[in-house]
Amino acid sequence: MKLSFMPQDGKFFTLFQESAHNTVEVAIKLKELMYNWTNVEDKVAGIAELEKKGDNVTHQIADELHRTFVTPFDREDIANLAHTLDDVTDFIHSATDAMFLYRVTGPTPKSQELADVIVEITAEVEHAINELGKKMDQRQMLKHCVEINRLENVADRIYRAALAELFANSTDVVYIIKWREIYEHMETATDRCEDVANVLEGVAIKYA
């Protein structure tokens, strides 16, 4: 069954695509920071700028939603998709900001593993978002959603292992508090990617 979600002018699609691509860029910068712990302040500032760019795109989507009488799919789904995409970027930024503010001396192996997954899952989100603006098979959209869910499960396992390792190997309470928060932000970013998949899955099913 072929689906066509977006109107010919593609205004919502273009903005969603921009938001998703921005999220991928933030994820890549996170990974670059984790594997090359130099110029940390500048790298975190670059991520902060991309987070602001993401906020701006989200505001544009909200403005379009208010101005558009007939939307390509449910208004609630459009709003949820915009906000959950923005949340992904927000939590990645929160993780890097915490690392800078808490003056951590470098990444942990588990934080690098989480960064790897975040790059993979945001790339998959972008692929799924790109499907919105063209005719597609429902099965193809659901395939992307399944992969996003799988990657979120991978991130969850890494997160649990990271916490177990943290409490088992360290007696420094401040260190534990710092990294527990950082890990939580990173894992929550993948949770929000799963939220994006849930919205997209709902849209695909509604318009089948």
Tell me the whole-structure pTM to 2 decimals. Answer: 0.92
Q: What is the mean pLDDT of residues 97-121?
A: 97
Tell me what percent of the residues of the chain surpass a pLDDT of 70.
92
CATH number of the domain encompassing residue 97: 1.20.58.220
Name the residue with tokens 């916490």: 163
Q: Is 198 exposed, middle or buried (0-12, 13-18, 19+ CB in 10 A)?
A: middle
Asked if the structure places residue 2 within a domain, the reply is no
Count of domains for the chain: 1
Asked if the structure places residue 122 within a domain, the reply is yes
Q: What is the mean pLDDT of residues 119-142?
A: 85
Q: Which domain holds residue 136?
A: 9-206
Asked if the structure places residue 4 within a domain, the reply is no
- Are 79 and 59 in contact by the 8 Å Cβ rule? The answer is no
Asked if the structure places residue 166 within a domain, the reply is yes
